Amino acid sequence: MLEVTGLHVAYGGIQAVRSITFHVNQGEMVALIGANGAGKTSTLKAIARVIDSVGGDVHFCGEKIDRLAPHEVIRKGIALVPEGRGVFPRLTVAENLAMGAFIRADKAGIAADLEKIHGYFPRLQERAGQLAGTLSGGEQQMLAIGRALMSRPKLLLLDEPSMGLAPLMVQKIFEVVRAVAADGMTTLLIEQNARLALQASQRAYVMESGEITLSGDSADLLEDPKVRAAYLGE
């Protein structure tokens, strides 16, 4: 579904991503793991066209998308849940979710998806009239995921969904991430908690200093001595 070839991202003279190549098959959850500054977020932003790449190609469902505008990428079926959530703080929960569906006109489908998201996150239904800026960090993460799903994407890009959350909230968020994946959603996941990412995904890539240094089945990487030493604290 997603094919990234030789992707290169730079900020001024700083090379954040150095000609990486990877792919995501339809229906998979694939994880990108690595330390802070490895280039993971820059990779997701370049795919979503939030930032420009300076080299390489990104193909989605066979179509080259790396020069499209961000709103065109959304219409193609890619939704990004950004690091830091990025909710609209002065809009209500309900208005934030409605914003996620701004590219759609199928009222019955929108209503059905809203009901599904309320099933995933009952707290969003309870807080429907509350301003998003007054929610807790965990509730804002629920809202950011729910808003992305309201666009009915083919590919969900998740950037650090557990960042800054209490363990119980992390557990809840990942229960939903797994449930969404089980429903067939193709997902590319960035997660600093490498153990959690590898347990949730089918395949994974390890990034270091802007390059992919290791890849394979997530179960195999969980047992890899280098991964265990560098990312699992063993």
- pLDDT > 80? residue 225: yes
Mean pLDDT of the chain: 95
pLDDT given at position 233: 76
Q: How confident is the model at residue 234 (pLDDT cuts 50, 70, 90)?
A: low
Amino acid (one-letter) located at 76: K
pLDDT in tens, 50-107: 999 999 999 999 999 999 999 999 999 999 999 989 999 999 999 999 999 999 999 9
pLDDT in tens, 119-164: 999 999 999 999 999 999 999 999 999 999 999 999 999 999 999 9
Q: Tell me whether residue 149 is exposed, middle or buried, using C-beta atoms within 10 angstroms of its C-beta: 0 to 12, 13 to 18, 19 or more.
A: buried
Q: In order of start, what are the domains of the chain with their CATH numbers? A: 2-231 (3.40.50.300)
Residue 61 region, left (φ>0) first, then alpha (ψ -120 to 50), else beta?
left
pTM over 0.85: yes
Can you say how many angstroms the Cα of residue 81 is from the centroid of all Cα atoms in its chain? 5
Percent of the chain with pLDDT over 70: 100
